[in-house]
Amino acid sequence: MLTYTIRRLLIMIPTLLVISFVTFSIIKLPPGDFLSNQIAELRSQGDKAALERAEFMRAQFGLDRPFIEQYAVWVGIWPAERGTAGERGFSGLLQGDWGWSFEHDLPVADVVGDRMLLSFILNFTVVLFTWAVAFPIGAYAATHQYSWGDYGLTLLGYVGLATPNFLFALVLMYFANVEFGLAIGGIMDPEYLDQPWSWAKFGSVLNHLWIPVIVIGTSGTAGMIRRLRANLLDELQKQYVVTARAKGMPPFRLLVKYPLRMSLNPFIADIGNLLPSVISGSAIVAVVLSLQTSGPMLLEALRSQDQYLAGSFLMFLALLTVIGMFVSDLLLAALDPRIRLTGGVAK
């Protein structure tokens, strides 16, 4: 188990490196950068002092350097010049420095604040929700194959799959407001926004969380139900089930004790499919519901070419996915010894 964990951890390093490179090159794809756009604007206004400041910033952050050097500095594998004294030091993602947000004129870490934590809470809850919903429904659909319940639930799953998330979010938000008088949008009441964490703040988050969780969860649940149903159906036809049934085991205990445990296996492996879609979903739903998670700020940063802010957000989302997959692989290996023995990476 230990060697497996280590091997799996080692694979993550090149993965994250490549992802960071791809991310950075995509962000740098449009011509120019935030500061050069700003400089062009200031030049047309003729604001000398601001112009000089922007040009100084541009040199200081090395935006005039070649692409590869900018990338290496951002990651923290190349020393960057800091300050006027010309001293050089490593300061990048590896050192825990997320960079500087030009638009907000603050370090990215300060701008981002607890958005990343909220993102994490949101995505984690969605995954739990998806599991909690898909598991009983999938099991029911498989044990009652071709019944009305099966068809109905399958259809419901498809409906969740086919509704665009953002529109569902809008409608649900509207009805939550009209029927229950819930506040519109946001992930907590506005008065808690920049407050330190407290129980009241936590409660407010919980109160707002359910709409995005339902909206994002529905799209992933359908696929999950279908896969669990298919897996369980395969298991239900196996000899050991027939044997247990012939020996007079109560149907419910039989189901829970053997086939359900077997079909749990792909369920956990499925997080690899689930997570990217959950995180994608949360990005757009967050924009619609103006949640204080990554979504709206990422969109804004991408539009204005605020490169370090956008890059850090994208990296964070990718990191979340990669770590999630790592955890799911570990769980899977813990559950199923066959995977450890063959040394295969769960897919």
Partner 1 sequence: MSAAPEPRLAHYVATEPFEPLATETLTPEQERFYRASQWRIMWWKFRRHKVALFSAWILLFFYASILASEVLSPYNLHSRDTRHIYAPPQAVHLFHDGRFVGPFVYGYSMELNMQTMRREFLPNEDKVQPLRFFCRGDGYEFMDLFEANVHLVCPAQGGTFFFFGTDRLGRDVFSRIIHGTRISLTVGLLGIAVSFLIGITLGGISGYYGGWIDNVIQRFIEMVRSFPELPLWMALSAALPVNWSPVLIYFGITIILGLLDWPGLARAVRSKLLALREEEFATAAVLMGASPGRVIARHLLPSFASHLIASLTLSVPSMILGETALSFLGLGLRPPVTSWGVLLNEAQNINVVALYPWLMLPVVPVFIVVLAFNFFGDGLRDAADPYK
The residues binding partner 1 (CB under 8 A) are: 11, 14-15, 18-19, 22-23, 26-27, 29-31, 158-159, 161-167, 170-171, 173-174, 177, 184-185, 272, 275-277, 279-281, 283-284, 287-288, 298-299, 302-303, 310, 313-314, 317-318, 321-322, 325, 345, 347
The Cα–Cα gap between 165 and 284 comes to 8
Cα 207 to the chain's mean position, in Å?
Answer: 21
CB-based contacts of 120, cutoff 8 Å, min separation 6: 320
Q: Which is nearer to partner 1, 265 or 280 (CB)?
A: 280
CB-based contacts of 275, cutoff 8 Å, min separation 6: 123, 127, 320, 321, 324, 325, 328
CB-based contacts of 217, cutoff 8 Å, min separation 6: 126, 129, 130, 133, 278
Least gap, CB of 325 to partner 1 (angstroms): 6
Question: Tokens 């757009």, residue?
Answer: 284
Least gap, CB of 27 to partner 1 (angstroms): 6
Q: Which is nearer to partner 1, 291 or 317 (CB)?
A: 317
Least gap, CB of 86 to partner 1 (angstroms): 34
β-strands 106-107, 87-89 pairing: unpaired
Structural contact between residues 82 and 89, judged by C-beta atoms closer than 8 angstroms: yes
Q: Which is nearer to partner 1, 174 or 240 (CB)?
A: 174
Q: Which is nearer to partner 1, 79 or 296 (CB)?
A: 296
Least gap, CB of 161 to partner 1 (angstroms): 7
Least gap, CB of 172 to partner 1 (angstroms): 10
Q: Which is nearer to partner 1, 127 or 260 (CB)?
A: 127
